Amino acid sequence: MTGRTDRAGSRILAWLLSSLTLLVAASADAGFESGIVNLHASTQHIPRVAICSDAAHGAIVFWQEGDTGPLLATRLLASGDPDPAWPLGGTLVAPSGVARSALGATSDAAGGGYVWWLETGVLSVNRVTRDAVTAPGWPAAGRVLGRLQQDEEPWFAPDGSGGVYVGWYGIGLAPNARWRTLAIHLGPNGHGTAGWPDEPLAFEALAENRYDGAPVFALSPGGGLWVAWLSNMYDSVTPSLTATYRVSRVGPSGAPSPGWSRSGTDVVQVTGELPDLYFWGMRPSAIADAGDGGGFLLCWDTASGLSGDPYAAAALHRFTRDGTPAPDWPVAGVSLDGLYYGPSAGMRASPRLYRLPDGRLLTGLASFGVESSEWFRFQHRSPLGVAQGSPLVEYKVWRLKAKFSAAGEFATTWAVPTGWHNVMVGENASFSGRYLSPGKPDASFQELQPGIWTTWYGDSDIEFTGNGAAILVWSQDIDRHGLLAVRLEPDTTIVAPPPVPSDPGLRVRYARGSGVQVAGATGRVTLSLHDLTGRQIAHGESADAGEWTVPGTEDLPSGMYFAKAVADGQEKFAKVVVVR
C-alpha cells in the first residue's frame, strides 16, 4: 500500500464506521413501509434489471452487476424486506465477462423464477428455485437455445403448470440452421415437456419465393400457443408481390390444433405494397385469444402519404377457429389511430394486444425513431373493437415495459432517456411506473432529476404481486446507488423525494466524464478526497460560490470514496460513489 493515512483520513474512517452502523439500524425490517427500498447497494453500473413474482406477493429480482459482470438474483419478500435465506449480494445465475443486451424473467409458479438473457445475440435461459439455487436439470450457467436476429427479443411466458414457453425469430443450434420462427415448451427441469420435443419447433410457410419473419406469440386456453408472422411473396423481378399475415395454433405438446398446421393459415391479406416492412425494424402484429376458439390480430398495412412516402397504419382483425374472418367483423379490420412513417433508420412500431377477463380488449401502439421522440398509447376497447374511455398516452419514453395480468391488471414502467439531441434545454430526466387495476384508481411513481445529460438510471421492470398491487424495481447511478424498489397500490401516487444530501447546503457527487463535483457552498471551499483506507487521492479548492470540479478526479476507478470539505467555516464529510 502506498500513501499515508492522515488525521483527516482517521476521522473519515471513524465517520464511516458510525455511518454504516446507523444505516443498518435504519434499514432493518423497514421494507415497503419506509417507501423506497434499497434492495442492493452497489458501486457498479447496473444496465439490466428484470423482475417476476415469487408466488407469495413478493418478487424475484434479477440483474447484471456491472457492464460485463455476473448475472445475479435475490428475493424480495411481500413486506419489502430481502429474504434472509438468500445470499447477501445475490445468488449467481450466470458468470461474468459478457455484456448482456437484454434481460427478462417470469415466475415458475413455485416461488422461483425463469430468466432469459441475450449475449451477442445468443439466447440463454435458466431457472432459480425459491431456495436460491439453480433448479435440478439445468446447467449452472443456463441453457443456450439459439441465436436471435439483431434487435430482436424473445417472447417468454409461463405455461400455468410450472413450465415456460419461449418463442423467437432466429436460428437453433443444429448445423447449417437457417433463420425462421422457433418456439419451445420447457418444463421445470429445463427440457421439453408435455410431449414437446427437447428442441425448438419451426413455424414457416415452406413455400418457394416466400420470406417469413417478425413473429409474435400468445397463450391459448388449455395450454399451447398462437403464433402469427408476416409472410412476403417475392421473386427476382418484383421485390414484393404480396404479403399476408399467417397464423398457427399448437397444443402443449407442439402438435397442431385441429384445423391448423405449423405452416400457418393466411388470415389477413395486406392491401398495399409492403416493401421492406420487416427491414424497417417494425414488429408488425400482435395476437390474442378471443375466447371462442378464434383470435384477434392487430397488424399493420401500408399506403402512400401525400408526399408519396409509405406509412404503416394499424387495424384490428378477428378470425374464427378455422382461420377465416369473423362474419361480424369489417373485412378491412377496425382502424386504430396512429400513423407510423418509414422507412427511417432505427424506426420501431410495436403493437400490443391483450384480452381482459370481461371480454374487452386492451390495445397498445408504440412509435419509436421519429427524431428520437418516442411515445406509446394504450386504449380499452369493446369486444367489437370500439374505443372506450380516454387513452393512456405518454410521450418521450425509453425502454418501455408493459405487462398485463389474467386479473385484468396493467402496469408499465419507462424513463425519459438522457443525452437526446432533440430534448429542450431546461427539461428534466424522469423515471416512472404506473399500475392500473380494474375499477380502482391508478397507482403511480414518478421521480424527476435535473440535468438531462447525466445518466441517472440503468434499467427498470415491474411485476404484479397477486394481491392487488405491483412492485417496481430499478437501478440508479447517482444519489442512490444500486437496486431500488417500491410497492404501488391503487390510489397511491408517489413523487419520490430527492435523497437527503450529507449537508443541506454543501453537495458532493461524481459525474461521469467530469469528476467529483462540489456545489451549494456560499464561499470558499477546500475539499480532499480519500479512499477506503483513508489515503488522500485528490485535493481542490474554490474561492467562489457555485459548482466546480475537483482536479484529477475525472478518471477515478469505480468504488466508494469519502470527501472531507471545509466550507462556511465548518468541517463536513460526504460519501462519493463512482460508477462506470
Q: Using alpha carbons only, give the angle 44, 126, 227 rounded to the nearest 5 degrees.
A: 115
Q: Judge whether 137 and 125 are in contact, CB under 8 Å.
A: no
Task: Give Cβ neighbours of residue 184 (< 8 Å, ≥ 6 apart).
Answer: 145, 165, 166, 167, 192, 196, 199, 200, 201
d(CA 493, CA 157): 30
Dihedral over Cα of 210, 216, 220, 225: its sign: positive
Using the CB atoms, write b or e for 139-158: b if 16+ within 10 Å.
Answer: eeebbebbbbeeebbbbbeb
3-state secondary structure of 8: helix
SS (HEC) of 280-349: HCCCCEEEEECCCCCEEEEEEEEEECCCCCEEEEEEEEEECCCCCECCCCCCCCEEEEEEEECCCCCCEE
Residue 563 has φ and ψ, to the nearest 5°, of: -115, 140
Q: Judge whether 49 and 474 are in contact, CB under 8 Å.
A: yes
CATH class of 7-17+503-578: mainly beta
Counts for the chain of helices (H) and strands (E), in that order: 1, 41
d(CA 240, CA 211): 10
> What percent of the chain is helix, strand and coil (3-state, nearest 5)?
5, 45, 50
d(CA 20, CA 575): 11
Q: What would you measure as the largest C-alpha separation in the chain, in angstroms?
A: 85
The Cβ of residue 25 has, within 10 Å, a number of other Cβ atoms equal to: 8
pTM (2 decimals)? Answer: 0.77
- Tens place of pLDDT per residue across the chain (580 aa): 333 344 444 444 444 333 332 222 233 345 887 788 989 988 888 999 999 999 999 999 999 999 899 999 999 999 999 999 999 889 999 998 888 989 999 999 999 999 999 998 899 999 999 999 999 999 999 999 999 877 688 999 999 889 999 999 988 777 667 788 999 999 999 999 999 999 999 998 776 667 788 899 999 988 899 999 988 766 555 554 578 899 999 999 999 999 999 999 999 888 665 544 444 445 678 999 999 999 999 987 765 554 555 566 788 999 999 999 999 899 889 887 654 544 443 345 578 899 998 999 999 876 544 334 456 778 899 999 999 988 876 655 556 788 888 888 988 887 655 433 333 333 445 677 888 888 888 888 877 665 544 557 788 999 999 999 999 999 987 777 899 999 998 876 665 544 444 344 566 766 656 778 777 666 788 888 887 677 888 998 887 666 788 898 888 876 667 788 887 667 776 666 665 5
d(CA 105, CA 461): 10
Residues of the chain with CATH 2.60.40.3080: 7-17+503-578
